[in-house]
Structure 1
Amino acid sequence: MKNKLFILTIASVFGVASSCNEDDLEKNTNPNNLTTETFYKNEAQALSAVNAVYAGLQANNLYNREYFFLHDLLSDDNQSGGPQLEAPRGQILNHVFDASNPLVLAVWRGLYRMIHRSNLVIENVPKADDVLVPPALKNRIVGEARFLRAWAYFDLVSLWGRVPLMTEVATAPADNKARSSSEDEVYAVIFEDLTYAAENLPLRYTGSDIGRATKGAAQALAARAHMFRGEYAEARPLLNEVITSGVYSLIPNFIENFREENEFNSESLFEVQFTEAFGDSGGWNADGSGIAEITFRGQEYGPNAWRNVIPSNSLVAEFETVANGATKDDPRRASSFYFIGDQFANDTKTLTTTDVQGDVTKPSWKKYQMIYKRDTENSRSGINMRVIRYADVLLMMAECENELTGPVAALPYINQVRARATMPLYPTAQYPASTKEEMLRAIVHERRVELAGEQIRNRDIRRWRKQGKLAAEPIAGFQSGKHELLPIPLEEIDNNSSLTNADQNPGY
Structure 2
Amino acid sequence: MKKSLLYISLLSAAMVFSTGCKKELLNQNSPDKLTSDNFWTTRERAITGLSAAYSRIESFAGWDNFIEARSCREYYREDFVEPGSDAYNYSWWMEIYNYSYNSGNYAIDLLWKDNYRGINFTNQVLENVALMNNSQIDDASKSMILAEAHFLRAYYYFKLLTNFEKVILRDKVPNGENDLPKVPSSRNEVWDAIIADLKAAEPGLPLRGDRPATELGRVTKGAAQAYLGKVLIYRAGEDKGNAKAYFTEASTWLKKVIDSKQYTLIDNYLGMFNGTLTNSAESVFELQQTMDEANGAYYKSQLSDWIAASELGGYGEIYGTQKLLTEMLKEGKVATDGLYDHRVYNTVFFKDDYFNDAANPRVYGKTYDKVFENNTVAFRKWIPASLDLLGNPVAINMPIIRYADVKLLYAEAQNAIGFPDQALIQINEVRARSAMPALQLANTTDVFNQLVHERTMEFTLESSRFYDLRRWGMLQQKMQDAGRTFSTDKSYYPLPLKETQNNPLAK
TM bucket (normalised to shorter chain) is 0.7 to 0.9
Amino acid at match of 1:59: A
Q: Which residue of 1 aligns with 2:71?
A: 68
The structure whose residues are more often helix, as a share, is 2
Q: CA deviation at 1:136?
A: 1.7
Q: Which residue of 2 aligns with 1:317?
A: 326
Asked whether the equivalents of residues 74 and 458 of structure 1 are also in contact (C-alpha less than 8 Å), the reply is: yes
Aligned mate of 1:381, from 382, 394, 401:
394
CA distance in 2, matches of 1:455, 1:31: 46
Q: Which residue of 2 aligns with 1:163?
A: 167
CA distance in 2, matches of 1:367, 1:493: 37
Distance 1:345-1:89 versus aligned 2 partners, 3 A rule: farther
Amino acid at match of 2:12: F
Asked whether the equivalents of residues 290 and 396 of structure 2 are also in contact (C-alpha less than 8 Å), the reply is: yes
Q: Which residue of 2 aligns with 1:506?
A: none
Asked whether the equivalents of residues 104 and 497 of structure 2 are also in contact (C-alpha less than 8 Å), the reply is: yes
Aligned mate of 2:345, from 329, 334, 348:
334
Q: Which residue of 1 aligns with 2:493?
A: 486
Partner SS state of residue 153, structure 2: helix
Which aligned pairs between 1:2-17 and structure 2 lie closer than 5 A? 4=2, 7-17=5-15
When structure 1 is superposed on structure 2, of 239-248 and 294-303 the one drifting more is 294-303
Partner SS state of residue 117, structure 1: helix
Residue 363, structure 1, aligned to residue 377, structure 2: yes
Distance 1:113-1:342 versus aligned 2 partners, 3 A rule: farther
Distance 1:51-1:116 versus aligned 2 partners, 3 A rule: same
Partner deviation per Cα, 1:311-341 (whole Å, 9 max, x = no partner): 2222222113576899741111111113476
Q: Which residue of 1 aligns with 2:455?
A: 447
Q: CA deviation at 1:416?
A: 0.7
CA distance in 1, matches of 2:479, 2:107: 27
CA distance in 1, matches of 2:174, 2:22: 12
Q: CA deviation at 1:158?
A: 1.5
Amino acid at match of 1:297: L
Q: CA deviation at 1:37?
A: 0.6
Query: What TM-score results when the alignment is normalised by the length of structure 1?
Result: 0.87
Aligned mate of 1:393, from 390, 403, 406:
406
Partner deviation per Cα, 1:334-386 (whole Å, 9 max, x = no partner): 11113476799997632677867xx763121111111x224241232200111
Structure 1: state its 5+ residue gaps.
282-289, 504-508
Which aligned pairs between 1:50-449 and structure 2 lie closer than 5 A? 50-57=50-57, 58-60=60-62, 63-85=66-88, 86-204=90-208, 205-230=211-236, 231-278=246-293, 293-303=299-309, 304=312, 305-320=314-329, 328-339=339-350, 349-350=365-366, 361-370=375-384, 372-427=385-440, 431=441, 434-449=442-457
Amino acid at match of 1:390: Y
CA distance in 2, matches of 1:324, 1:260: 28
Distance 1:206-1:62 versus aligned 2 partners, 3 A rule: farther
Q: CA deviation at 1:461?
A: 1.3
Asked whether the equivalents of residues 345 and 374 of structure 1 are also in contact (C-alpha less than 8 Å), the reply is: no
When structure 1 is superposed on structure 2, of 335-344 and 269-278 the one drifting more is 335-344
Partner SS state of residue 33, structure 1: coil
Distance 1:185-1:425 versus aligned 2 partners, 3 A rule: same
CA distance in 2, matches of 1:184, 1:475: 32
Q: In percent, how many aligned pairs have the same letter?
A: 28
Q: Which residue of 2 aligns with 1:287?
A: none
Q: CA deviation at 1:142?
A: 1.4
Asked whether the equivalents of residues 259 and 383 of structure 1 are also in contact (C-alpha less than 8 Å), the reply is: yes
Distance 1:167-1:345 versus aligned 2 partners, 3 A rule: farther
CA distance in 2, matches of 1:345, 1:22: 65
Asked whether the equivalents of residues 123 and 173 of structure 2 are also in contact (C-alpha less than 8 Å), the reply is: yes
CA distance in 2, matches of 1:307, 1:473: 25
Asked whether the equivalents of residues 415 and 448 of structure 2 are also in contact (C-alpha less than 8 Å), the reply is: yes
RMSD: 2.8
Partner SS state of residue 266, structure 2: coil
Asked whether the equivalents of residues 273 and 381 of structure 2 are also in contact (C-alpha less than 8 Å), the reply is: yes
Q: CA deviation at 1:206?
A: 1.0
Q: Which residue of 1 aligns with 2:243?
A: none
Distance 1:65-1:137 versus aligned 2 partners, 3 A rule: farther
Asked whether the equivalents of residues 4 and 51 of structure 2 are also in contact (C-alpha less than 8 Å), the reply is: yes
Amino acid at match of 2:97: L
Asked whether the equivalents of residues 315 and 449 of structure 1 are also in contact (C-alpha less than 8 Å), the reply is: no
Amino acid at match of 2:461: G
Asked whether the equivalents of residues 254 and 406 of structure 2 are also in contact (C-alpha less than 8 Å), the reply is: yes
Q: CA deviation at 1:480?
A: 3.9
Q: CA deviation at 1:457?
A: 1.2
CA distance in 2, matches of 1:332, 1:105: 35
Amino acid at match of 1:486: Y
Q: CA deviation at 1:174?
A: 2.6
When structure 1 is superposed on structure 2, of 118-127 and 242-251 the one drifting more is 118-127
Amino acid at match of 1:451: F
Q: Which residue of 2 aligns with 1:284?
A: none
Q: CA deviation at 1:269?
A: 0.4
Structure 2: state its 5+ residue gaps.
237-245
Distance 1:418-1:352 versus aligned 2 partners, 3 A rule: closer
Which aligned pairs between 1:25-36 and structure 2 lie closer than 5 A? 25-27=26-28, 29-36=29-36
Aligned mate of 1:465, from 456, 470, 473:
473
CA distance in 1, matches of 2:227, 2:298: 25
CA distance in 1, matches of 2:25, 2:118: 26
Distance 1:243-1:478 versus aligned 2 partners, 3 A rule: farther
